Structures are given as structure tokens and as C-alpha cells.
Chain A
Amino acid sequence: MPPRTCALCNDARAILKRPKTGQTICKDCFFYVFETEVHNTITEAQLFKRGDRVAIGASGGKDSTVLAHVMKTLNERYDYGLELFLLSIDEGITGYRDDSLETVKRNQEQYDMPLKILSYDELYGWTMDAIVSQVGKKNNCTFCGVFRRQALDRGAAILNVDHIVTGHNADDIAETVLMNIMRGDIARLGRCTSICTQGEDTIKRSKPFKYAYEKEIVMYAYFKKLDYFSTECIYSPDAYRGHARAFLKDLEAARPSAIIDIIHSGEAFEIKEDVKATQKLQQTCIRCGYMSSNELCKACTLLEGLERGMAQAAVTDRARKKLDAVGPTPDNLRQIPMFKPPSSVQSSTHTTAAVGT
């Protein structure tokens, strides 16, 4: 096949066919288009304000490394006026997380941003390795996800930031939509396509890569020669998400726009009134003060299960009742420290204009 010229600049050699649009474009146009689309996502959703302190959830993997690079680039190019930080969570997975943390430390130097690392061990007293040895390889992702979510908020509170950004990409969100449909999780289905989530007592959390294809993120990192860590979590092969991911990859191969289309479908969902009425209201955990749908937040429930040697019991609501039936919670169990949101969340609403307006 003859070499093609870029469809945008009509000058340089095309190196990529964009899955989103089918355009064949050159390296420099690709960088520009990719970065500008993220910039548009940020400004259209009015994610940031001048002076915001923003923590980038950094794992050392491809998405968070590219996110740190792009946030830094856009902050400078369009003068967002943001203060950027790297926040990393150490789940205690030997051979996976300890290696990727080395990458984050290198990222800190490469992008010149302050770095904070928080570990499950210091926060909960349990590493993922210890949890898996008690819980087994099914449902362990539940523990990790719940604990990580809280850990990110707590790390952000320590750094006193206004906003957390994570590297979730279009593929991730499409997978989540599929998973929630497959599991009948209506509450999550209604929330999972929001670009920015915020509770009353929690820090704003956004996904600037919501519309960025995983393939493009990898190509961006490859052509920019960005340093990232790339191994599957050793516990993930049995994860339920694997089914959704395999399905999505096959859909993408047949019709590349499927990913964005699934997100669009997810955004268009509206929950029936009578179903909405059955959803639980948000409250605060009586034990640690974090946001919760029940008296005790999920993290405290899971931790209690681990501490009492009945970890599997804490994973579902039905099993929780069994746990309670065994007896009341003993007094001397390890607990998660009280959660105090950063001052930015406690103060009254901001009135300054959003970045990009």
C-alpha cells in the first residue's frame, strides 16, 4: 500500500488510524488532536477553577502516566493555573505494586510534581497479599476497589487538594457500563458515566480521559516515549471485569465506535421513578465518618469481616446479616481512623469562574 498522507495537515506521513473517527493522521497532528480533545473535555465539563490544587491518581501505569503528562502540558499551554500533585496508593501486592511505584517515583522527577504515597498497610493494617490469603481469589477486587477509593480520598485530604483526577479511559467506562448492566446494579449504572462525581463530604473526582480510547493512550505513550509500567495485576485474571473487557475488545474489532457509543447509551439512561425510590440515601459511616449508603461504610464492613476472620461474610448485604447474627462487633478490633475532608470541601461554594470560560 502506498504511504498515506495525514488527513489533517496533508503534509506528513500518516502513522495512525483513529478508532474514533477513522481518520488517518500523522504523529504531530495525533498529539495535537489527542491533547486538544482532553482540553475540550475539561473545559466543556468546567472541571477546574484557577488556583485549584489537583491530585493525579498515579499508579505508574499507562493511563496515569499519560494523564500526568497531558495535565502538565495542558496546564502550561492553556494556563489553567492549577497546582498539580501525584498521589499513589500502595495496596501491598508484591511483584506488581512495588515495581510500579518505582515508575511513579521516576514520574515525579520527570514531571516535577510533589508525590504522596499512602499504603493499605498504614491505613487499614492489611496488605492485598494478606487479604487474598484470607479471602481467596474471588471477590478480592471488591476489597481492593473499596479500600483504594477511600485511600485516595484520605490521601487527597492529607495533601489538602480540591480535586482528584484519575486515568480512567473510554474503554474502562464502557466496560463498567456493561458490567453494571450484567449485574443489575442500577445505582451504579446511573452514576458510572458521570465525568465528575462528588458527594457532600467527599472530594471532587474527575476522569479527563473519559472519551479517550485506550488504544490512543498507548500510542501516545509509545510515540512520546513515556515511561510506564505494564503488567497485569497478579490477582486480576479471575476478575469479573475480564468478561466485559473481552467482549468489548471483540465489539471494538468489529466496529471501533462501539466504545464511545456504549458510553453515550450509558449517559442517556434514566432510572424509572419507582426504581429510584428504592435506592438508598447517602449518610455518613458511624465508625469512620466516610460517606456510606448504610450505617457502616463498605470499607469498615469489609475490615470488620477481615479482622473477625469472616472476610467473605462482609462482601454482600445478605452475608452481612449472617455476620451480625454471629454476634455484636467486639470492642478491640482495628478501625479505620476518622475521616476529615479537606477544608475546600467544608467551605461554602466557590464563585470564581471555571477554567476555560
Chain B
Amino acid sequence: MSGTISLKIEFGGGLELLFSNQRSHRVTIPALVPAASSSSTSSSSTAQTAQDEAGAEKKKPADLAYLIFWLRDNLLKEREELFIENGTVRPGILVLVNDADWELEGEGEYQLKDGDEIVFISTLHGG
């Protein structure tokens, strides 16, 4: 099993404007990530290893919650408050995992698999 996961990310409903005005992205993230969920800005796992707390560093499979922070740190170009709020996506942004509502997959706790397609659609605009 390789140490990374390849994902296809799509942004819609105007969100693409925050991500270099690009709707489709292909990203690669580590398969195992630090278990302590943090709201600090550390992005790569090597930086986290250097700062880890006393005792063994716990790892968990990468999940959607981690991906959201990863996107903020690596792809988001501006106005992070329009994407992330209180450790998750801002209310009003829909998340689809392989064409299914993320609420069916456990939201942030869904464990990512290689080749997954994640779609973020904003509903926060005029109709």
C-alpha cells in the first residue's frame, strides 16, 4: 500500500474563485495523518513529526476533516473564512463524496480512498 492517496477535487457554485478560479484539481495527500486533529496551520506531516508531543505519535487514515484543512493550507488562495468555519466547511457548502451526500458517509470522519472524487458546492449566492 503506497503512502499517499490520489484524489479528484471539484469546486462549484462559485467556490472555484477561491481556488485559483479552477474547478477541477488533482491532489495527492498522505495516507496516514496525525491523529490529533488540529486547527493549527501545520501542513506537511514532516513538520508535525518534528513538533510532536511526548510519547508515540498516533496516526490515523486520512479523512475528510483532514482534507478540508489540507485544502485550506495548500490550495486555498484567499478568504479562508468563506470556505472553513469552526473546523469544518462553512454552513451552506455542500460536500459530495463519489456523487453522494457526505452526510451519508459520516461527514468529516469518512476515510478517503485512492481515486475518490470529492465535490464542494457553495449554495451561498443569488438564485
Contacts and interface: CB of A to CB of B under 8 A. Distances in A.
Interface of A: 1, 4, 13-17, 24, 59, 61-64, 167-169, 172, 214-215, 217-219, 222-223, 230-233, 236, 245-246, 249-250, 252-253
A33 to B, nearest CB: 14
Contacts of B125: 61-62, 230-232
Contact of A1 (B17, B92, B104, B126): B104
Interface of B: 12-14, 17, 91-92, 94, 96, 99-101, 103-106, 110, 119, 121-127
Contact of A15 (B92, B100, B106, B122): B100
Nearest to B111: A1
Given A15-B101, A17-B104, A231-B17, A217 B127 contact: yes
Given A230-B13, A230-B14, A62 B104 contact: no
Given A219-B94, A232-B124, A1 B12 contact: no
- Of all A-B residue pairs in the complex, the 6 with the closest CB atoms, nearest first, are A63-B127, A249-B91, A61-B127, A15-B100, A17-B103, A230-B14
A5 to B, nearest CB: 11
Nearest to A251: B91
Contacts of A1: 104-106, 110
Contacts of B94: 215, 218-219
A214 B123 contact: yes
Given A1-B104, A4-B104, A14-B100, A253 B91 contact: yes
B126 A61 contact: yes
B37 to A, nearest CB: 19
Contacts of A246: 91
B35 to A, nearest CB: 20
A196 to B, nearest CB: 19
B91 A14 contact: no
A62 B127 contact: yes
9 contacts: A14-B104, A15-B100, A17-B103, A62-B13, A169-B127, A218-B13, A218-B94, A230-B12, A253-B91
A64 B14 CA distance: 17
Contacts of B104: 1, 4, 14-17, 24
Given A1-B110, A217-B127, A250-B91, 16 more contacts: A1-B105, A16-B104, A17-B104, A62-B13, A63-B127, A167-B127, A169-B127, A218-B13, A218-B94, A219-B94, A230-B12, A230-B14, A230-B122, A231-B125, A236-B126, A249-B91
Contacts of B123: 62, 214-215, 218
Given A64-B127, A249-B92, A250-B91, A16 B121 contact: no
B102 to A, nearest CB: 9
A280 B100 CA distance: 51
By CB atoms of chain B within 10 A, which of A14, A17, A230 has the most? A230
Nearest to A64: B127
A215 B121 CA distance: 10
A148 B92 CA distance: 26
Given A1-B105, A252-B91, A222 B14 contact: no
A13 B122 contact: no
A52 B127 CA distance: 24
A301 B69 CA distance: 50
A32 B4 CA distance: 40
A249 B100 CA distance: 21
A232 B126 contact: yes
Contacts of B106: 1
A231 B100 contact: no
A232 B17 CA distance: 11
Nearest to A256: B103
A204 B34 CA distance: 59
A61 B126 CA distance: 6
